[in-house]
Amino acid sequence: MRILKKITRLFQGEAPDKSVPSPEFPASEGTSSKNEPEPGFNPGEVDNIFEELLNDIGFLISRLNYVGKNAREQEEKRMEAMRRLQALGPEAEEAVGTLVPKLFGEKAQERQLALQTLECIDAGWQQHEQVIGQIPFILEKLNKGYPIGSKAIDILSAIGAPAVPFLLDALRPDSGRDDFFRSNALRCLNKMEPPTEALPAIIETTLKQSSSAQMLEAAADAICAHSDWATPNTPFILPLLEKEETKLRSKALKALSHSTAIDDSALPPLFGCLADESEEIRNGAINILAGCESDAASEFYEGVVTKQGELNEEDLKTAFERLQHVFTKSTVEDFRSSRMRFINNLSWYNLEFQQALDKPRLLLGSILDILKQKEAARPDLSEHLMRIFEKQPGDAIQESCLALLGKIPENKEPVLAFLVSQLNQVSAPLRPKMVHTLEQLDPQWIAHPTAVSFVNNLIDGLDTSGRQADSAEALLAIGDAAAPLLVSRLEQSEQRVIQQTLLDILGKLGSRAEINVATLLKIKERCANTHTLMALNELISKLGKEG
């Protein structure tokens, strides 16, 4: 009877304590203080029974739903049961059905351990009959957000054909399910391979008839997953580009990128995306239009570049109307009674006004990005590109202008003169790209009279307060091409600051530049300044080692 009670306690999750007498069975008179067992009782036998229980599948399955005295104990017992089931592997097959609900538990660690346990028991556990029998239970989890809903999508899509009738039923308009649930059901079908025969028709119907952003996003995802569906659905995807939801428009653009039916009828909504506030939207439209050859598109691009980013009359009128609205709808009394509300409204309309002003610049930047991806640029655009470069400061637009100017070899003299004149006007990161464009137009650009004059002006700036750092940085950006001019000025100059700065720049250019060591030795013979001599020796030594 005593052993039976101890075993009962074992089933309740308590290991035998062999060092302390049980309060239920106090030691009788005459027993030793060491709590020696009664004749016939073997503590080791109880341990063996306990160990056998911890490897009994039925016992471990019951432990998966263990309810303890507190949350910590409960979690520990359940997770220990999972670990032991993992060790049993395929032998624990009957635990599959009980483990499935654990995939949707509250604790991330428990969910992860349940998944690992199922994979140890059966690598293809999603096809197990115990899992298929729980499709209705799993289906209900589609109304949950991440990560529960995502896990349900993964499981149902992996189950495959047995789950299809349930998913199709959920997608019916009269199913009573909300858009979030139905969009997740559609995502389940999207992920199935091969796709169910009904899916293409469901996608087309959704694109044509649904007004739900969630359903439309799921339909766009399906087209991205099955790219051959994009072309026939192009007319139904294009209207999505005019929706308010940025995420939906982004997915629509990704779906359209698979289409081979981008003709002139598709251009207006795509053009509208080029001035979108979202960079993701602009880039999506740019990537599609860059691969589209169309006279109508070329004409539109040329018109935008010709305007050089100026705000057209219609946009300007709209912007002012938005800004004036706050004044026409408000009185002095309104202002006095609710000053902060008036200021907030003014800030809001000012933001809209600023966004309207930014649109032409965004559009211009997008058009330049498209033209940049073309093989060649039209020669008649060079003048406009130079004006844009000058009037629209900003690395992104100016970099695009440089890339395009480098593709126009015709009439390069004015372009060379213009770019050289701008070398000291742009940001430091842009200068190497300007030099690259100059080299594209003429490898000997540094010999151009304007370039020689510009470099000499930079060298003069090395001894002018406030110009030294920028002049040195600009000379370094010009790089190897400037080396002969630098050495020539070094030979001519008597100013110590200019000499030492030129030597420092030449040292940074190193053997990459064509530096005549013989000329440096001649300069050394005539040099009387100790600091300049040291710098010359260092440069000559460095060139000798690198050579």
Q: Which pLDDT tens digit goes with each residue over 164-219? A: 999 999 999 899 999 999 999 999 999 998 899 999 999 999 999 999 999 999 99
Q: Would you call 268 helix, strand, or coil by DSSP? A: helix
**pLDDT at position 26:** 47
Tokens of 532: 């300049």
**106-116 pLDDT, tens digit each:** 899 999 999 99
pLDDT at 545 over 80: no
CA-closest candidate to residue 415, choices 125, 407, 313: 407
Tokens of 118: 């199922």
Local confidence band at 423 (pLDDT 50, 70, 90 cut-offs): confident
> Please, are residues 541 and 510 in contact by the beta-carbon 8 Å criterion?
no
Looking at the whole model, is its pTM more than 0.75? no
**35-63 pLDDT, tens digit each:** 555 555 455 554 555 455 566 889 899 99
293 CA to centre of own chain? 29
pLDDT at 415 over 50: yes
Arithmetic mean of pLDDT over the chain: 83
pLDDT at 238 over 60: yes
pLDDT at 25 over 60: no
293-321 mean pLDDT: 75
279-283 mean pLDDT: 96
CA-closest candidate to residue 156, choices 180, 184, 175: 184
Tokens of 314: 């219609």
Lowest model confidence (mean pLDDT) among 5-9, 100-104, 262-266, 417-421 = 5-9
Local confidence band at 18 (pLDDT 50, 70, 90 cut-offs): very low
Q: Calculate helix-pair angle for 213-225, 230-237, nearest 10 degrees.
A: 160
pLDDT at 334 over 70: no
CA-closest candidate to residue 459, choices 444, 442, 436, 476: 476
**pLDDT at position 542:** 82
**479-505 pLDDT, tens digit each:** 888 888 888 888 888 888 888 888 888
